[in-house]
Amino acid sequence: MIDVCREIAATFTDGVSASGRVVELGVAALEVKRFRPAYLRRKDYSERAEEEDIVQLIMPMCGTVDATWAGRHNTVAVGDLYAHDLAQLDEINLQCDGRDALELALVAIPKPLLPLRSGAMDHVLGRGVPVNGGVGRLLKGFIEDLSDENLSLKPEDGQRLGTVLVDLVAACFSSLLESGQGPGSGSHRQALTLRIRAYIQRHLHDPTLTPRAVAAEHHISISYLHRLFREQGETVSAWIRDQRLRRSRRDLADTALDSVPIHQIAARWGFGRAGDFSRAFRTAYGESPREYRSRTARKG
């Protein structure tokens, strides 16, 4: 379980005083916290704690948050949703707007669980998430429902809802990237690459998803598609395989899916043959899918 308050405090010179409740969600963390007013500035830009490899969503329920991320300032008030990571958070000012304390819903998700490269995520982090429609509105409503103090969940329900939350965040980020709403989208070339990655994320389940199919969908040549990925030090096929393996690995660790056969999980993420999946999984993670599932089950 990720301790969201500890992650914030560990990054800055001063701690932060908070009280509240935790919603157990397995792969993700949701905390509804009441904070005393505080102003925190990064302690040392040369230090980067292991805990900073986390994406956070902040949703004020009472009060205001002023955050400066990578030099960019945002004010987050009730009704807003803000996404950032601790790695580039410069300072944060928690204001209670005349009340005794402010109340925030805080979501924390380890970056490796989100099937987007860090460079791509940087285009949607450190800014407000549009919540007036689309996936952003669904995401905000889902966080509000999970934050309801009257909500009572069984452990297995929390696991399932945590998986849904991660998928919603990934869908929201991908939608922003594909629409070009991320700040600093840059050149047409960069925007095209982001759209292609978002498209691949949505079609990982399709076993016919190949570099040739991706190129045809985006009306570019296969050689140009390969060039776009080579510029970022990777190949199209390897990236598709890596994203499929990440999703499969997450599902194998989900106790709510213990009864689902491994070959079905593989097929769910586009692996047509179980043997190909097992070999790729062992190459990537040093153990078979069955060994990984058994080991994570023992930890649980």
Same domain, 209 and 96: no
91 and 134 both lie in a single domain: yes
Pair (88, 219) in one structural domain: no
Side-chain half-sphere of 159: how many Cα atoms within 13 Å?
Answer: 13
Burial readout 58-87 (b: 16 or more C-beta within 10 A, e: otherwise)? bbbeebbbebbbeeeebebeeebbbbbbbb
Query: Does residue 167 share a domain with residue 245?
Result: no
Dump pLDDT digits (tens) for 49-82.
444 588 999 999 998 999 888 888 889 999 999 9
What is the three-class DSSP state of 94? strand
Q: With respect to residue 74, please indicate whether it lies within any of the assigned structural domains.
A: yes
The predicted-structure confidence for 197-237, as pLDDT tens digits, reads as follows 878 888 888 999 999 999 999 889 999 999 888 887 889 99
Structural domain ending residue among the three candidates 179, 194, 221: 179
pLDDT, tens digit, for every residue of 79-105?
Answer: 999 999 888 888 888 888 766 778 999
Q: Are residues 153 and 64 in the same domain?
A: yes
CATH number of the domain residue 283 falls in: 1.10.10.60
Q: Is residue 188 part of a domain?
A: no
Q: What is the pLDDT of residues 165-196, one digit of tens each?
A: 988 998 888 888 776 655 444 456 777 887 78
CATH number where 99 lies: 2.60.120.10
DSSP lists the bridge partners of residue 136 as none
175 within domain boundaries: yes
> Which stretch of 38-42, 162-166, 267-271 has the lowest confidence by average pLDDT?
38-42
Average pLDDT score, the chain: 82
Write the CA distances from 227 to 47, 177, 222, 248, integer angstroms.
35, 20, 9, 28
Same domain, 230 and 262: yes
Are residue 83 and residue 166 in the same domain, yes or no? yes
Is residue 17 domain-shared with residue 128, that is, in the same domain? yes
Looking at the 3D structure of the chain, how many domains does it have? 2
Round the CA-based radius of gyration of the chain to a whole number and report it: 20
Separation of CA 255 from chain center: 20
Does 280 map to a domain?
A: yes
Residue 143 domain boundaries: 4-179
In a domain, 189, yes or no: no
Secondary structure element (H or E) that encloses residue 97, with its range: none
| Residue 255 to residue 212: CA distance in whole angstroms | 36
If asked whether residues 209 and 173 sit together in one domain, one would say no
